[in-house]
Amino acid sequence: MKQYILLAFAAASMTMAFAQQPAGEVKEYVLNQYVPNAYGSMESDFGAAERVVYAEDGKTVYFSNLIPRTQTDRWIKGIIDGNEITVSCDTPLYQYQVNGTVYDVKFGELVMEDNGASYTVTGVRDAVFAVDGDRIFVDEPSETKIRYMSYYYLNEQGNVRFIDYCIDTQMTLFEGGVGNKIPAGATCEQFVCHSTNDYGDHNTVTCNVWVDGNDYYFDHLLSTEALVKGTRAGNRIVIPKDEYIGCDSGYFRYFSGFYTTWEEDDEGTHVDYVLNISEDGKTLTTENGENTVPILYNYGSYWFEDYAMNVYLEKYEGDVAATPSDPYDLWWTDAYVELGGVYLFEFFLSSTDVDGKFINPDNLYVTFFIDDEPFVFTTDDFLYIQQNMDKLPYGYMDSEEWDITWYGNQVHIYTVPFDLTTYGVQAEYTVDGVTSKSNYVRYNTQTKQTETIKTGIDNLNVQTVVKDPTWYDLNGRRADGQSHHGVYILDGKKILVK
């Protein structure tokens, strides 16, 4: 398949109010499609929950979101004509701001000109979908005919710029059930779920466990609020492999255990996920240790959406005063100014104290500094926060998960460009009116060095740490720049790996 270049970077502001769900018969479909990745090729995005409303007139249909990776929170209208549904390319969905200019975003099919090695977008037309029984789909792609559906806008020169696009859209009526629900009368206990990721980072999160006889219901075993159900037999809780747990974050989610030897040629096997209960009932540990991990995946795909290693749960005994651990892996880049007109700040913070013990994230806050001055997040500069904030609560994301995002321990903050030399982060933890602060950790945008200030911001006794070069993809995710072709960011600069 030919390679493609992303023409626009989605780092702007949606300002239209959310639309209400239209009246009519509601059906849920599994939406599978292919979307572009940071390496210049296409990757699968399977298992999305596409809600479709059929109006009473029998001629009108509404789609909840035709490219789930780019959430619009707008219903997209289509007209039914025989075995086809047509979506007009002239209907504004929301507004998109680029470098101070506001554009109307619409949905349509891109008109592509084949240049041999690549394609050029020359226009846009109505999007037409075929209907066959319980399927709604776009014609299968081929070497001579690939149809691109896109959220797009027209710039001041009248050229098409797309925010996201997809190919090979397929929707199939979902018949997988309704997911797990908490039974009436179940008792709840709170645990702390510990795990590590690929980089060895220690992650902690509170996990509620509801017990109804021998049935156990877990939330937040992984990055999902859908409930995972297991059944107790002796001192083991068995969660069956490939369990449908419900619709979460717009996707039909499945949970399973995954057994692997971690050898290069071992593709792994889906297995029941088993937690062993300690004698005192205060600790739950993964059976088979590091060889079995919990995984989360979407309908129609075994590709992991999330997984964690070294998982164990311990009963939460309540809040105690503690000094929070330091923020780490601070990073900043201006490489997105050309693409989307923004700076990206990144750092990591775990909900643990300096001894690695869990602390309640509800009591944990972060202060952000620019050139050693506290930074205030204002509603003028950040459209999707409800009030001005001089501290960010742990895990806080703005209402659109747009400018301020927090996934696990990783924080991304997008801002408009401004002059700066350093930015810093400090955590603080409060219990029973007593506040303790972490060290102040500062990143120098000129030297690319991280500095830990041991004695507080007013007395800059600095320990400097020079980090090894870290590669990032165009979505801001850490990546191994040597293992794939594509465009990466290294020390704030775009690097092409051939």
pLDDT tens, per residue, the chain with 498 residues: 233 333 333 333 333 334 688 999 989 999 989 888 766 678 888 888 888 999 999 999 999 888 887 777 788 999 999 999 999 998 888 887 777 788 889 999 988 876 665 677 888 999 999 999 999 998 755 555 678 899 999 988 888 888 888 988 999 999 887 789 999 999 999 999 988 877 777 788 889 999 999 999 999 888 888 899 999 999 999 999 999 998 877 888 999 999 988 888 888 999 999 999 999 999 999 997 788 999 999 887 767 888 999 999 999 988 889 999 999 999 999 887 776 678 999 999 989 899 888 899 989 999 999 999 999 999 988 888 889 999 999 999 988 778 999 887 889 999 988 899 999 999 999 999 999 999 999 999 999 999 998 754 444 444 444 445 555 554 455 555 444 445 555 554 445 454
How many angstroms separate the Cα of 400 from the Cα of each of 45, 100, 138, 144, 486? Answer: 21, 19, 29, 38, 29
Can you give the pLDDT at residue 74?
Answer: 83
- 280 secondary structure, DSSP code: T
What is the three-class DSSP state of 216? strand
Can you give the pLDDT at residue 441?
Answer: 96
- Start-end of CATH 2.40.160 domains in the chain: 187-315
Residue 77 contacts residue 97 (beta carbons within 8 Å): no
**Cα–Cα distance for residue pair 35/414, rounded to 1 Å:** 23
Can you give the pLDDT at residue 201?
Answer: 74
Can you give the pLDDT at residue 13?
Answer: 38
- Please list the residues that pair with 347 across neighbouring strands: 411
Residue 131 contacts residue 139 (beta carbons within 8 Å): no
Residue matched to tokens 């086809």 = 84
The overall pTM is greater than 0.75: no
**Cα–Cα distance for residue pair 498/482, rounded to 1 Å:** 9
User: What tokens does 11 get?
Assistant: 């780092």
Greatest Cα pair distance, the chain, in angstroms, is 74
**Cα–Cα distance for residue pair 37/470, rounded to 1 Å:** 19
Check: CATH 2.60.120 for 187-315? no
> Which of 408, 442, 403 lies closest to 425 in space, CA to CA?
442
